[in-house]
Amino acid sequence: MTTTLRPTGPEERDADGTRSRAYAICVNGRPVGEVRLAARWSEVLPTGRVERLTVEAAYRGRGRATVAALAAEEVLRTWGCRRIEVRVPAGSEAALGLARALGYTETGQDLGKRLAAEPAAGPVPAPPAGAAFHALTGAEFAAWRERDRIARIRCFTAQGLSPEAAAERAGARYARLLPQGPATPGAALRALHLDGTPAGTLWAQTAPPAAGAGSGRPADGPDARVHAVEVAEEYRRRGFGRLLLAEAERLCRAAGGRSLALALPAGDTPALRLATALGYRAGRRLFAKPLL
């Protein structure tokens, strides 16, 4: 039996240069599943994504998903992509096994939490005397962004990107999510001070980016997202990470949201332990590999 991909519609292009297309997975011409692919424009490292890959239950366990995944890689190569990323549901052992078998490396994971209408008493301690949050000022924003950019580049290079590609991706991230800096609608940038001394920062997004930014919330996606939590070295292991995430939850509720997502890089065990203790649960695991 022959497994092939057949387009189910025309290619789509977004204002930011993202291209995407859906395909049927066919066995001897009969549709038995689907694949949706997307590619993000980049001067340094064009990157493709497998956004969806499903096979009908009756055809699973026969290598159809493997052939479809390899065919998807070939499509993305013809689009000029040199890297591919996939997002795998945390509980899908078959999909996780397929990603590993095809040479993908785990780069991170998404976690999520459903928020009650009111915060529950529990693992988040009361703020210590002298602790206060405030919105980042212009000068604070510039300093924070440079620290976050350096940290983001370090994270991307650890995932296998070149320094040039990592810097480009970090810059594109701010252009997409913070086009107006701290005044970007839906962006929440907060500094945590203790007796006037900076102790940490929070970057959360309580509303999707503007239309055309290529990162709107899916219909079944979270209402808000935590993009970055930073605790100053001298204040770590003192509960300030919990305070910053509690502030993110408060901001989410204030904006009318009831679910919050948190992205963590692979291998950040302390952050994963903290998020799990606060009620976050695994959602998707992120994998990537170069397209040679």
Q: What is the pLDDT of residues 229-287, one digit of tens each?
A: 999 999 988 889 999 999 999 999 999 988 999 999 998 999 999 999 999 999 899 99
According to DSSP, the residues that pair with 86 across neighbouring strands are: 50, 287
User: Closest Cα to residue 205, out of 173, 236, 233, 172?
Assistant: 173
215 contacts 176 by C-beta, under 8 angstroms: yes
- Whats the size of the chain, residue-wise? 292
Q: How much of the chain, in percent, has pLDDT values that exceed 70?
A: 91
Indicate whether 211 pLDDT > 70.
Answer: no
Task: Provide the pLDDT for residue 116.
Answer: 79
Indicate whether 169 pLDDT > 80.
Answer: yes
Q: How much of the chain, in percent, has pLDDT values that exceed 90?
A: 71
Task: Provide the pLDDT for residue 130.
Answer: 84
What does the domain layout of the chain look like in residue ranges?
3-81, 112-285
User: Closest Cα to residue 64, out of 94, 39, 88, 92?
Assistant: 94
User: Closest Cα to residue 175, out of 138, 140, 147, 212?
Assistant: 212
The secondary structure element, H or E, covering residue 228 is strand 224-231
CA 260 vs. chain centroid, Å, equals: 12
Q: What is the pTM of this model?
A: 0.83
CA distance 212 to 271: 32
> Which CATH code for domain 112-285?
3.40.630.30
User: Closest Cα to residue 3, out of 25, 22, 24, 33?
Assistant: 25
pLDDT in tens, 64-99: 999 999 999 999 999 999 999 999 988 889 999 999
